[in-house]
């Protein structure tokens, strides 16, 4: 099948009809797949070309659990171009062809990849199912590692075993939804406002504020905006959406209160914010975490489960991280001089081996 792609709002007739038969999903293509699974007998086969968005993220969690509980994945082919497979449609994400058989999961899955439908240079490898869906992963993210270089990165990344909870860190989306706070937004800061940080303010691993752009730079500090602020501190910010011109999926930067002094700060909703129980991080830890997130290693491994432009807080929570000591050391080494991408990648690789 080549099911239709269309987002389903929570109150739509299609969404309500699906709920009546026990299916919860946010897109029509996943609904077609879920209904097809219901129609198959044991041993029945399914081949489908779809966007890759079901592989990760909270919206497709119920679908992933139901699909993987009923079907045995046999082969996944990924088109690495975001536009080649559906060039006439507005689907800006990688696409996959899946082959699955209804019944108990087999031990191995064939992974293949190509740039697009017309590319004859296809990579092909067989991997254990546990390398695609990690044992014990409550989100059941589907990781697609298409080649040996990617597998080397995945093996290196697997040396990290700390969750954000282990690091005593949290990540959440920025509190300021600008269209809801429109009357309190200001282009220029003044004595009645505090800094408001948008993705456009992230530049070369730091926050450049204020900035001349279409986006405002400030939020009025008043009773109506009291719940939108975070206390001044050192935070790590990650863009929730990567733009077309950016080469990397994960774009991180450090908010430094020494550079932007203020009692409180507002972060717009298109940012993910790393914090410690709602407050800032130790500066070295923040610098190390930001460098780690900006590394080629993280970018490569993030692409193994995410084929679209969005970086959800759930994705960042589900990742594993180096220990606090390694992140502190990475931040300490990068404290005095701006580091190039090559230097960041070298340090991350070097310190990853010390993670055991």
Residue-range domains of the chain with CATH: 13-146 (3.40.50.150), 170-353 (3.90.220.20)
Q: What is the pLDDT of residue 187?
A: 96
Query: CA 230 to CA 195: how far, in whole Å?
Result: 11
CA quadruple 307, 311, 314, 317: dihedral sign: positive
Query: CA 79 to CA 146: how far, in whole Å?
Result: 10
Cα end-to-end distance, the chain, whole Å: 45
Q: What is the pLDDT of residue 240?
A: 93
Contacts of 155 (CB under 8 A, 6+ apart): none
Q: Which two tokens stand for residue 258?
A: 């020494």
Query: CA 321 to CA 160: how far, in whole Å?
Result: 5
Q: What is the pLDDT of residue 90?
A: 52
Q: What is the pLDDT of residue 122?
A: 82
- 268 vs 32, 128, 230, 242, 249, CA distance in Å? 35, 41, 11, 15, 19
282, with CB counted inside 10 A (0-12, 13-18, 19+), is middle
> By C-alpha distance, which of 264, 298, 259, 289 is closest to 278?
264
Q: What is the pLDDT of residue 304?
A: 82
Q: Are strands 108-114 and 123-128 parallel, antiparallel or unpaired?
A: antiparallel
- 50 vs 117, 129, 131, 155, CA distance in Å? 13, 20, 21, 28
In order along its 356 residues, the chain shows pLDDT tens digits of: 999 999 999 889 999 999 999 999 999 999 999 999 999 999 999 999 999 889 988 889 999 999 999 999 999 999 876 555 455 555 556 889 999 999 999 999 999 988 767 767 788 899 999 989 988 888 999 998 887 888 888 888 888 889 999 999 999 999 999 999 999 999 999 999 999 999 999 999 999 999 999 999 999 999 999 999 999 999 999 999 876 556 788 999 999 999 999 999 999 999 999 999 999 999 999 999 999 999 999 998 888 877 667 888 988 998 999 999 999 999 998 876 667 888 888 888 887 776 65
pTM: 0.81
Longest CA pairwise span in the chain (Å): 69
Q: What is the pLDDT of residue 176?
A: 97
Find out whether 105 and 116 touch, Cβ atoms under 8 Å.
no
Q: What is the pLDDT of residue 181?
A: 96
- Helices in the chain by DSSP H: which ranges? 13-20, 28-39, 61-70, 148-157, 283-293, 296-303, 313-318, 324-333, 341-353
């Amino acid at each position: 099948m080549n099911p239709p792609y269309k987002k389903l709002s929570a109150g739509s007739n299609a969404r309500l009809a699906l709920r009546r038969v026990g299916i919860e999903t946010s897109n029509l293509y996943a609904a077609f797949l879920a209904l097809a699974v219901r129609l198959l007998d044991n041993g029945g086969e399914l081949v489908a070309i779809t966007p890759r968005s079901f592989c990760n993220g909270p919206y497709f969690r119920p679908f992933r659990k139901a699909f993987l509980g009923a079907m045995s994945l046999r082969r996944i082919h990924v088109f690495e171009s975001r536009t080649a497979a559906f060039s006439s449609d507005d689907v800006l994400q990688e696409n996959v062809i899946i082959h699955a058989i209804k019944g108990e999961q087999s031990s191995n899955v064939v992974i293949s990849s190509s740039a697009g439908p017309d590319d004859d240079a296809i990579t092909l490898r067989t991997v254990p199912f546990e390398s695609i869906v990690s044992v014990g992963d409550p989100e059941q993210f589907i990781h697609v590692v298409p080649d040996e270089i990617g597998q080397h990165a995945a093996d290196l990344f697997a040396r990290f075993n700390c969750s954000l909870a282990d690091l005593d860190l949290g990540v959440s989306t920025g509190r300021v939804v600008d269209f809801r706070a429109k009357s309190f937004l200001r282009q220029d800061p003044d004595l009645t406002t505090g800094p408001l940080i948008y993705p456009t303010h992230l530049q070369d691993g730091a926050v450049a504020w204020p900035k001349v752009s279409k986006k405002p730079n400030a939020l009025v500090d008043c009773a109506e905006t009291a719940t939108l602020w975070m206390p001044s501190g050192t935070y790590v910010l990650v863009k929730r959406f990567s733009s077309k011109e950016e080469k990397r999926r994960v774009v991180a930067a450090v908010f430094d209160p020494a550079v932007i002094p203020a009692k409180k700060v507002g972060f717009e909703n298109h940012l993910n914010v790393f914090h410690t129980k709602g407050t800032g991080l130790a500066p070295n830890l923040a610098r190390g975490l930001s460098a780690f997130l900006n590394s080629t290693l993280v970018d490569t491994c993030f692409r193994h489960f995410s084929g679209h432009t969005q970086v959800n807080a759930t994705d960042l929570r589900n990742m594993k991280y180096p220990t606090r000591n390694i992140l502190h050391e990475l931040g300490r080494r990068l404290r005095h001089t701006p580091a190039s991408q090559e230097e960041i990648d070298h340090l991350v690789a070097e310190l990853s081996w010390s993670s055991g």
